[in-house]
Amino acid sequence: MTKPQNHAAASATPPHDPLAFIDWRTLAARMGVHPRTIRKWTQEGMPSYPLSPRITRYKWPEVEAWLAARREGGAL
């Protein structure tokens, strides 16, 4: 007799984990912008987490909030 599998845990996982860190390639793809735009916005203060001089990670909810604040301020 086989053990029933619990698929509820797998299906309950959101497609974008709000607590997960993402890299610049993933962020650029998710936003539909060129990777250079991500670098420019990071230099302009977009929330980021540098892990080393060459590795930076982002949290999607923080990036969304930063972009919304820029839109409200008329910077975009």
66 burial via Cβ count (<10 Å: 0-12, 13-18, 19+)? middle
Q: List the domain range (segments joined by +) for residue 58.
A: 19-73
CATH of the domain at 34: 1.10.10
Task: Assign 56 to helix, strand or coil.
Answer: strand
Write the secondary structure of 10-32 as one string of H (helix), E (strand) and C (coil): HHCCCCCCCCCEECHHHHHHHHC
Is the residue at 3 inside a domain?
no
- pTM, 2 dp: 0.69
Is the residue at 2 inside a domain?
no
pLDDT in tens, the chain (76 residues): 555 555 444 444 445 676 789 999 999 999 999 999 999 999 999 999 999 999 999 999 999 999 999 998 865 5
Is the residue at 59 inside a domain?
yes
Is the residue at 6 inside a domain?
no
- If one counts the domains in the chain, the total is 1
Is the residue at 8 inside a domain?
no
Quote the CA–CA distance of 26 and 32 in Å, as a whole number: 10
